[in-house]
Structure 1
Amino acid sequence: MTAHGPTAATPSDRPSIFRTAMGDDVFGRLHPQLQRRFSVGLGSGEACTGRGVMEQIWHGGRWVRPFLALGATRNILLPREGRRIPFVIENVPYRDAYGRETVTFVRTFDFPDGPRRFDATMVHSPARDCVLDYLGTHQHLASDLYFSADPAGGLVVRSGEHRFREGPVDVRVPRWIGGDAEVRESFDERSGRFRIRVRVTHRRFGPLFGYEGSFRAEYRDVRGLEPRPGLRPIREEARA
């Protein structure tokens, strides 16, 4: 069954990884539509697909482009700029090869010269007391995510420590290299759309990359189902 529009949050006997990380205080202050979106998980049995338009996708100076292009080879960040770019975001829960509840954040942007993807998969890390955001097709980069609610019931997500993981290598990305990400998501009652704004900045060099737009969400029952082919990462990282 697919549900559309402003409906109440779906109850769950087992909280989602996001609610677990937020705690009931933060989660309870979110708009009901954000509560439902971030209840996506194995407990709710729901997946969420958002379809909408990015009003603007931007990046910093020319020196940023080679790094964005390198990341794009593993579906990390976007090397393109544009306005009014259609996009889809797929949030699908599943259990990974290590038995952890995982939720996809796969974004596909329909640029005029062809689609581009920005992939992430998220798990809860009890040891780090946060959601761990694995970036890209091979989960080589991992970022700690921390959640708060703004006074209007919107969700604010900020990144913490970044780590690079490959084989025996597990190193913290120095602060002078890594960027700081901030995501703001809200629900507009009048339009029935979610609004999203993402900004990645560097402490010394300023804005690096970002986008903002809006989308409508659809929910579907995925209990007992696997994500569609191509949605899961190629490589899964054991360390959380």
Structure 2
Amino acid sequence: MPSIFRTAMGDEAFERLHPELQRRFSVGLASGELCVGRGVMDRVWHGRAFMKPFLACGGMRNILLPRTGRNVPFVIENVPYTDSFGRETVTFVRTFDLPDGPRRFDATMVHSPERGCVLDYLGTHQHLASDLHLSAEADGSLLIVSGEHRFREGPLDVRVPELVGGRAEVRESFDERTGRFRINVRVENKYFGPIFGYEGSFAAAYTALSSHGVRAGLRPVREEVRA
């Protein structure tokens, strides 16, 4: 069975990715592998000063990064598992070793047949769900662009308006010269400009899922079934 990312992109588009990106985004239950990337973010940044309270609020649930830094040690854990609703899920848990202590930016991803894309649940409680649209660039890199965002808490189920929402753009490539993945993430608001982002590189290592599994604390505290 193809990974959730190959399913979302389709075979033709997926096979235009650099082979190393194809392997990284083939991580899933069928591959039997998990992937851990370790590297350094050259820069972790955020927007103007008035963004700080918003970032601090999101940081409480591992949704946003409220701190900045340079040459920040970084780990990303991509581990597949079956969630409590029977869906194949892949973690995108990023840990930034910032000067004031580690900060996490958590996401868990599933493929949504209803929405025809990868669905990105953000944070420790999956309160925020975002559509992700993946495409292969001419140079074999991967471009991920977020679409609609929805907020869920108890009976509340609302679309996040553009006024307060953010558009994420992620570019990931493989540098054959260094043997490392390059990543550039930028999140901005249509009206207020840049919110936060980071850029840097990492090396990936693959481990058999059967010998490692999902470590404690990696899965979200609460899982959301609504797409």
Q: Which amino acid aligns with 1:203?
A: K
1:1-240 alignment runs, 5 A limit: 14-223=1-210, 226-240=213-227
Aligned-partner Cα distance in 1 for 2:182–2:117: 23
TM-score normalised by L of structure 1: 0.93
Q: Give the deviation of 1:223 after TM superposition.
A: 3.3
Maintained 8 Å contact 1:42/1:223 = no
Maintained 8 Å contact 2:145/2:168 = yes
Aligned-partner Cα distance in 2 for 1:51–1:221: 17
Aligned-partner Cα distance in 1 for 2:104–2:189: 23
Q: Give the deviation of 1:98 after TM superposition.
A: 0.4
Q: State percent identity of aligned pairs.
A: 73
SS at match of 2:10: helix
Q: Rate the CA distance shift 1:119–1:148 in 2: closer, same or farther, 3 A.
A: same
TM-score normalised by L of structure 2: 0.98
RMSD, aligned CA:
0.9
| Structure 1 spans left out of the alignment, 5+ residues | 1-13
Q: Which amino acid aligns with 1:179?
A: G
4+ runs deviating over 6 angstroms: none
For 1:70-108, what per-residue CA distance to the aligned partner results, in whole angstroms no more than 9, with x for missing partners?
001001111000000001000000000000000000000
Q: Which amino acid aligns with 1:125?
A: S
Q: How many residues align?
A: 227
SS at match of 1:233: coil
Q: Which moved more, 1:149-158 or 1:171-180?
A: 171-180
SS at match of 2:7: helix
Q: Which amino acid aligns with 1:111?
A: L
SS at match of 1:19: helix
Q: Which amino acid aligns with 1:52?
A: G
